[in-house]
Amino acid sequence: MNNTNVHILIVEDELRIARFLQIELEHEGFRVTTEENGEKAFELIKKGGYDLILLDLMLPGMDGMTICRKVREFSEVPIIMLTARDDVEDKVEGLDIGADDYMTKPFAIQELLARVRNVLRKSRGAGTVSRGDSYVVGDLVLYPNTYEVEVAGEPVQLTRREYDLLEFLMRNKRTVLTRDQILEQVWGYDYSGDTNVVDVYIRYLRAKLDDRFDKKYIYTVRGVGYVIRD
Ligand code: CA
């Protein structure tokens, strides 16, 4: 499984735990979003695009049980409940209302990762993730719904940033993009680091796409920026 295509939402108001989970999951290559407020989390889930939700039970705004029950009215997205209460009834209720699994805090990260993989495997097997629309440049195809990238049908593993950069280039196929435009769109307005970062990531992408498959997708327009085309 290509983890960079998997987007996990962590709903957890204990920021120390949320941060820890985020670091561990990102280390495994997953895309991670965190939200500490239950109500806001529910709004995010309604918008869609997540492959797995890690859901704390006690939350400000809306509790985890309520979120899980409401989500199940419209979505089969896998949910792993994180509960601080070692209470059997809670666990049973959690699974009853449609959670796929639960973890009792404190938990060992390796066990959580194993359960994440297990739940994802099951959901993939059930074919619940729809690829939807795609961007195409020659043999190169990118599926925004599933964050999957393929060259001639072969999957390509990208980091989050590489993926964002590629998506921006492909959305603007045949349009020359300046380094400033790329920085603003992919790294954000408040990015204050080295502008060479664009060139560095273009190199990463070329290594994983152009070089690996012996193709040419990404072109340098000297003094201006970059463009992707057939
Ligand atoms: Ca909590």
Q: Separation of 84 CA from ligand 1 center, angstroms?
A: 8
Q: Separation of 38 CA from ligand 1 center, angstroms?
A: 10
**Strand, coil or helix: what is 177?**
strand
Instruction: Give the span between the Cα atoms of 194 and 208, in whole angstroms.
Output: 22
* Span 118-173, pLDDT tens digits: 888 777 765 444 566 788 999 999 988 777 899 998 999 888 789 889 999 999 99
**Strand, coil or helix: what is 52?**
strand
Q: Separation of 63 CA from ligand 1 center, angstroms?
A: 9
The distance from CA 97 to its chain's CA centroid, rounded to whole angstroms, is: 25
- Return the pLDDT at 94: 62
- Return the pLDDT at 227: 97
Within 10 A of 170 (CB to CB), how many other CB atoms are there?
A: 19
Q: Which residues surround ligand 1, an ion (CB under 5 A)?
A: 13, 56, 58
Q: Separation of 12 CA from ligand 1 center, angstroms?
A: 6
pLDDT by 10-residue block (mean), the chain, 230 residues: 82 94 92 97 94 94 94 90 70 72 82 86 62 85 85 88 92 94 81 81 95 95 94
Q: Separation of 140 CA from ligand 1 center, angstroms?
A: 43
**Strand, coil or helix: what is 224?**
coil
Query: Strand 177-178 vs strand 7-11: parallel, antiparallel, or unpaired?
Result: unpaired
Amino acid letter, residue 183: L
Query: Strand 135-137 vs strand 140-143: parallel, antiparallel, or unpaired?
Result: antiparallel
- Return the pLDDT at 87: 58
Report the alpha-carbon angle 107-112-116, nearest 5.
160
